[in-house]
Amino acid sequence: MQHDEFIGQVQHRAKLSSRGDAERATRATLETLGERVPGGLATNLAAQLPPEIGEHLRRTLDFGIEDTPGERFDATEFVARVAERSATDEPIAAYLARVVFEVANDATEGAVAQKVADTLPDDIRRLVTAGSSGGVG
């Protein structure tokens, strides 16, 4: 999957009015994921995504150090960070994150959900694997 297709899928599935909104949702979600997962996993997942998309995961690594353990925070904090970065409220941010994870999972043929699920607590794991069909909230 290429960058334009990835962003187009986020825009379509989330029913966003612009590509800019889809870009913002993607960046917000993946930067937050990059803060939460170990650096090596962020780098590995980034390599499986279109380069412009994967860069969002790498952006939060401390000077490119891959052996960072990842910050410890729960799903509530994850959604709050996505909301702040995407300039939306938290229910919409949670939905946007689910859409971005769904598209990333499709783009990596299931690798995102599985690898991320193996490293995250249950509350964030549910966010990663929920998919977009549930609507906002």
pLDDT at 42: 86
What is the pTM assigned to this prediction?
Answer: 0.89
Cβ atoms 6, 89 nearer than 8 A: no
Q: How far apart are CA 21 and CA 7, in angstroms?
A: 9
**Would you give per-residue pLDDT tens digits along the chain (137 residues)?**
899 999 999 999 999 999 999 999 999 999 999 999 888 888 888 899 999 999 998 877 655 555 677 888 999 999 999 999 999 999 999 999 999 999 998 998 876 667 777 888 888 888 888 888 765 55
pLDDT at 89: 97
* Helix-helix angle 51-58:19-36, to 10 degrees: 40
Q: How far apart are CA 91 and CA 80, in angstroms?
A: 9
Q: Which domains does the chain have, with CATH numbers?
A: 3-129 (1.10.490.110)
pLDDT at 136: 56
pLDDT at 70: 82
pLDDT at 27: 97
